Amino acid sequence: MEVTRLFDLLPHYATHFSREDALCGKENGVWKHYSTKQYVNIVNNISYGLMQLGIKKGDKIASISAGRPEWNFLDMAIMQLGAIHVPIYPTISENDYKYILHHADVKMVFVSGWDILRKIENLLSEIPQLKDNVYTFRNLRGYRHLN
């Protein structure tokens, strides 16, 4: 297989450089390891889910998070669909979030936790396209989540 797009790296890694700890991140203070095979499967499942939600080539999906494995999963899944990832720094102001989410014409946003969710919850009434399109990396009070 020839690697011609960034997301082609995943099957290439799976074939030539498979590892049991391709990505690692802490969950509740404990390291969680993701194998190359898990990485590929998770990315594919997220891509399928995004397609089911109507995401198409050129759509913009934001993420607000510090570095974590879920960010990588989401980034690759978005690329596989031809959509555009709009990563947003997690420590900016609510006004900055509002400006970026509105002006980038973001259709969906993924957030890492309560702190960011609280910041953008206040803005959702002003960004109608995000009304029912906020997702979290973990299950937080009934919000739809990545895993």
* Per-residue model confidence as pLDDT tens digits over 93-139: 999 999 999 899 999 999 988 888 888 888 888 888 887 888 888 76
Is 140's pLDDT higher than 70?
no
Is 71's pLDDT higher than 90?
yes
Is 27's pLDDT higher than 90?
no
6-145 folds as Rossmann fold (3.40.50)
Answer yes or no: are the C-beta atoms of 131 and 106 closer than 8 Å: no
* Alpha-carbon gap, residue 110 to 145, rounded angstroms: 8
Total count of residues recorded for the chain: 147
* Alpha-carbon gap, residue 110 to 70, rounded angstroms: 10
Q: Which of 125, 71, 127 is nearest to 99 (CA)?
A: 127
Tell me what percent of the residues of the chain surpass a pLDDT of 70.
92
Of 27 and 24, more confident: 24
Of 91 and 113, more confident: 91
Of 140 and 9, more confident: 9
Q: What is the torsion angle, in degrees rounded to the nearest 10, for the CA atoms of residue 67, residue 76, residue 7 and residue 53?
A: -170
What is the torsional sign of CA 106, 49, 90, 130? positive
Q: pLDDT at position 146, please?
A: 55
Show me where the domains of the chain are located.
6-145
Is 33's pLDDT higher than 70?
yes
Residue range 79-89: average pLDDT?
96
Answer yes or no: are the C-beta atoms of 70 and 24 closer than 8 Å: no
* Range with the largest mean pLDDT of 13-22, 111-120, 136-145: 111-120
Q: What is the DSSP letter of 65?
A: -
Mean pLDDT of the chain: 87
Answer yes or no: are the C-beta atoms of 88 and 97 closer than 8 Å: yes
Residue range 46-56: average pLDDT?
94
